[in-house]
């Protein structure tokens, strides 16, 4: 089957930025293949798409980005059904809070698997189809992909890896007609933080010598999420990038995110970044 309607595949669409992006992309005229690890959690997306009047443009598929065979079969299925794949939005991810002395190496590996290797797997499978369509590859990273943040060592390491991967891929992909962008949200009022299922009192009780720093960090994060963007606000720059002929490589979703990442990007010696984040744990 071949269609003239542009098709975008978005990962991690059961909630938050992914859900908002799927609905907004459908409203912008895209056929959306909205993927999630557990399609049993697809009701929120179905309801949002129906309310927006775009249910017929949103197709839900199961995809676990850490399953290489499933990634390959899902991408092949999309192209067989629609004849093309014009864009991919890598959005699926998972957080991990803790410091390395009190985390296992396996926890770090698991965090890297979802946030980095999952992106690599989807990107690798998608590139031949994006090349054929002269399409676009957009990856949701985080301000934590630019600035390392206390008690987010594994998560930020994974997001740093994604940014380095995509920054290296971008000029190569451009030679075959594929644009590559990373999107860096700050705090977003979504189920992402809730999905971490953090028992803060238990974490503090087990933090030992790190308890004062962790308590200060939790206070900081609570305040930050009190002024968070909505998922729809964070999704808007992604939709703009999908529509752009030459989107920027690095895209922040708010003035705060631009200011915050700008501190690092203009900080040649690293002093400014460490001065900023050290305040979070005092």
Residues of the chain with pLDDT under 50: 1-2, 192, 195
Q: Which CATH superfamily is domain 7-281 in?
A: NAD(P)-binding Rossmann-like Domain (3.40.50.720)
pLDDT of residue 70: 97
The token pair that represents 131 in the structure block? 């090349």
Residue with tokens 């451009």: 174
Instruction: Report pLDDT digits (tens) over 108-133.
Output: 999 999 999 999 999 999 999 999 99
SS percent in the chain: helix, strand, coil, step 5: 60, 15, 30
The token pair that represents 100 in the structure block? 């390395």
The token pair that represents 50 in the structure block? 């129906």
Residue with tokens 């190496």: 105
Instruction: Report pLDDT digits (tens) over 171-202.
Output: 999 999 999 999 999 888 865 455 455 678 88
Q: Quote the distance between the C-alpha of residue 109 and its chain's center.
A: 18
Whole-structure pTM value: 0.90
d(CA 49, CA 57): 8
In angstroms, how far is the first alpha carbon of the chain from the final one? 59
- Known catalytic residues are 155
d(CA 259, CA 254): 9
pLDDT of residue 1: 46
């Amino acid at each position: 089957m071949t269609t003239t309607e542009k098709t975008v595949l978005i990962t991690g669409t059961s909630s938050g930025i992914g859900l908002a992006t799927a609905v907004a992309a459908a409203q912008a005229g895209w056929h959306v293949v909205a993927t999630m690890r557990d399609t049993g959690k697809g009701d929120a997306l179905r309801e949002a798409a129906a309310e927006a009047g775009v249910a017929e443009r949103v197709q839900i598929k199961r995809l676990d980005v850490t399953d290489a065979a499933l990634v390959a079969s899902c991408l092949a299925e999309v192209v067989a059904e629609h004849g093309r794949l014009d864009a991919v939005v890598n959005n699926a991810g998972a957080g991990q809070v803790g410091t390395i002395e009190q985390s296992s190496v396996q926890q770090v590996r698991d965090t890297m698997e979802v946030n980095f290797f999952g992106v690599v797997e989807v990107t690798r499978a998608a590139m031949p189809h994006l090349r054929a369509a002269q399409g676009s590859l957009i990856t949701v990273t985080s301000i934590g992909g630019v600035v390392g943040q206390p008690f987010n060592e594994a998560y930020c390491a994974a997001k740093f890896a994604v940014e380095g991967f995509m920054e290296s891929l971008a000029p190569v992909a451009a030679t075959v007609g594929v644009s590559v962008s990373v999107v860096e949200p700050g705090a977003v009022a979504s189920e992402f933080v809730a999905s971490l299922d953090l028992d803060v009192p238990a974490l503090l009780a087990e933090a030992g010598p790190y308890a004062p720093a962790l308590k200060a960090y939790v206070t900081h994060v609570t305040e930050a999420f009190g002024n968070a963007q909505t998922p729809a606000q964070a999704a808007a720059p992604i939709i703009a990038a999908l529509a752009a002929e030459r989107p920027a490589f690095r895209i922040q979703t708010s003035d705060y995110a631009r200011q915050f990442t700008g501190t690092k990007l203009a900080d040649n010696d690293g002093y400014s970044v460490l001065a900023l984040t050290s305040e979070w744990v005092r």
